[in-house]
Amino acid sequence: MDAITVIRAKRDGHALTPGQIDWVIDAYTRGRVADEQMSALAMAILLNGMDRAEIARWTAAMIASGERMDFSALPRPTVDKHSTGGVGDKITLPLAPLVAACGAAVPQLSGRGLGHTGGTLDKLESVPGWRAGLSGPEMMEVLGSAGAVICAAGEGLAPADRKLYALRDVTGTVESIPLIASSIMSKKIAEGTGALVLDVKVGSGAFMKTLADARELAATMVELGTDHGVRTVALLTDMSVPLGLTAGNALEVRESVEVLAGGGPADVVELTLALAREMLDAAGLPDADPERALRGGGAMDVWRRMIAAQGGDPDAPLPVARERHTLPAPASGVLTRLDAYAVGVAAWRLGAGRARKEDPVQAGAGVELHARPGERVTAGQPLLTLHTDTPERFPAALAALADDAVVIVPDGPGEPGPGAAP
Ligand code: URA
């Protein structure tokens, strides 16, 4: 077998054989297929697709490239969730402790930011002292003591995906349904969770821009999980507007803590509870009451234990960016659009995300929203505040928010203004 034959087969629109798939994944993991050959193959897959049998075999080969974890000794049922990525998507932070507070064990392997989308590990690293990298025994220890753990996947888990994911990120081959589905599911299946809830995002701020694509991605992942004995369900949720009122690392941790304290923006609370119900159902705990665990402080207790068990100080003040720039509403009227992709790119440009893989992120950088679509605003009132340590980044963030990223439909001449008597 050789790489060129495999690349040519996919380039010419053929289905890869099981033997070709097993060989190419194994040889790439061992460094016997070069990065440039794998990028050519990834591009051919992005352009020509893979059928369900190819995706299943590709996923199985990625799982087989590394070790598998085993949580079967835990006394509680395990359940995990995965979001396909969005702007302001901090849901994992309140969700994992909430589901643990309701009786499940939540082994949450998470990732870093990708492009304009934020990453759970980057967010949590803004908590002073918190560590993302845990050994297998450390992960089990936190899971046992706190009920939930959020950490990076270990080196040995689906190493083929680790290499391929980094390659896709820099070769324009991220947005492929077979490659996304196999990447996510290989890690989740190798992780050994008993149940999995997928939050498949759709809209401008997601990788899937259309409902049809999001549906196909969801169906592909559910089939992969089910075939591997993981109870898998998927929700399709909107990502045309950022979630909550913040996009950025420490900003999102602050908002998540507000949710755990019983407050926070309604859309974040609603999605957290909806996903918690799905997770508890999938874990075989349909009678648990996540609303009570959230309002009663049980979720906050788990959060504090989980953060402390990973070296973090839940009481330490969160980092704050050195510079701020506030954008006022240009007119009075109803805010009808605040585009998730534009806000995500602005946060990324401000330093919340990376330009290159090895770049550090700024803990305090990001965008704060002072109004959400559907709300009435008054000309001159603060609409968005940009946060960064490096003010030379403001122009690039402002450019991302130009054009039609923000739309206010002005009041008609006879309409009542804000606060006017009816
Ligand atoms: N998350 C992953 O883990 N892989 C992808 O390809 C996309 C999102």
Residue with tokens 């679509």: 373
The question of whether 8 is a catalytic residue gets the answer: no
58 CA from centroid of ligand 1 (Å): 15
For 3-49, the fitting CATH number among 3.40.50.300, 3.40.630.30, 1.20.970.10, 1.20.120.10 is: 1.20.970.10
277 CA from centroid of ligand 1 (Å): 24
The question of whether 110 is a catalytic residue gets the answer: no
What does CATH list as the number for 323-410?
3.90.1170.30
84 CA from centroid of ligand 1 (Å): 7
Residue ID of nearest Cα to ligand 1 atom 7: 180
204: Cβ below 6 Å to ligand 1? no
Please say if the pLDDT value at position 48 is more than 90.
yes
The question of whether 161 is a catalytic residue gets the answer: yes
Average pLDDT, the chain: 94
215 CA from centroid of ligand 1 (Å): 16
Residue with tokens 């790119």: 345
The question of whether 168 is a catalytic residue gets the answer: yes
Beta bridge partner(s), residue 149: 107
Assign 16 to helix, strand or coil. Answer: coil
- How much is the pLDDT for 118? 83
Please give the Cα distance from 84 to 201 (Å, whole number). 6
Third-level CATH fold of 79-309: Pyrimidine Nucleoside Phosphorylase; Chain A, domain 2 (3.40.1030)
Please say if the pLDDT value at position 421 is more than 60.
no
183: Cβ below 6 Å to ligand 1? yes
Closest CA to 98 of 302, 306, 253: 302
> Which ligand 1 atom minimizes the distance to the CA of 84?
8
Domain with CATH 1.20.970.10 in the chain: 3-49
Query: Is the separation of the CB atoms in 90 and 188 below 8 Å?
Result: no
Q: What is the pLDDT of residues 213-272, one digit of tens each?
A: 999 999 999 999 999 999 999 999 999 999 999 999 999 999 999 999 999 999 999 999
Residue with tokens 């700024």: 362
Q: What is the pLDDT of residues 322-356, one digit of tens each?
A: 999 999 999 999 999 999 999 999 999 999 998 77
Q: Which of 108, 120, 163, 165 to mutate to test the pocket of ligand 1 (most atoms within 8 A of CB)?
A: 165
83: Cβ below 6 Å to ligand 1? no
Please say if the pLDDT value at position 415 is more than 60.
no
Q: How far is CA 348 from CA 35, 117, 205, in A?
A: 27, 8, 12
Domain with CATH 3.90.1170.30 in the chain: 323-410
Assign 53 to helix, strand or coil. Answer: helix
182: Cβ below 6 Å to ligand 1? no
Please say if the pLDDT value at position 358 is more than 80.
no
- How much is the pLDDT for 413? 59
- How much is the pLDDT for 417? 41
> Which ligand 1 atom minimizes the distance to the CA of 114?
8
**pLDDT more than 90, % of the chain:** 89
Which residue among the candidates 39, 183, 186, 256 is catalytic per the annotation? 183
